[in-house]
Amino acid sequence: MHFKTLNSENQGKDFEDQIKKLIEKHSRPASEVLLDDVDLRNFLKISRRTALEYRKKKILKFYKIEGKIFYILSEIIDGIKKEGGKHVN
């Protein structure tokens, strides 16, 4: 896995700021913000292959609708928290 620990307050704050910006952008709570696969990869700064691995290992819950992958922001946050407060970088 390519998870890195949020070892400084700045890294954790940056991640929280990114989440807040996404929520503000969509004017909805995290449980109502949908991201497609490209949005997720840009948000977490991961490759297509890494996103696939996280889906296979059930780190990130996803939904497939008409062949397209979607994620719910609150479930992304939960998946990262389950990994021990680690963040993908």
Per-residue pLDDT tens digits of the chain, which is 89 residues long = 344 434 444 455 676 777 777 777 777 777 888 899 999 998 888 899 999 999 998 989 999 999 999 999 999 888 888 876 554 44
Which SS3 state, helix, strand or coil, does residue 67 take?
A: coil
For residue 21, the enclosing domain spans 3-88
Residue 54: which of 80, 72, 28, 33 has the closest Cα?
80
Counting the structural domains of the chain, the total is 1
**Cβ contacts of residue 81 below 8 Å, gap of 6+?**
none
3-class SS of residue 53 = helix
If 0-12 CB within 10 Å is exposed, 13-18 middle and 19+ buried, where does residue 51 land?
buried
Read off the pTM.
Answer: 0.70
The pLDDT assigned to 53 comes to 92
pLDDT reported for residue 85: 52
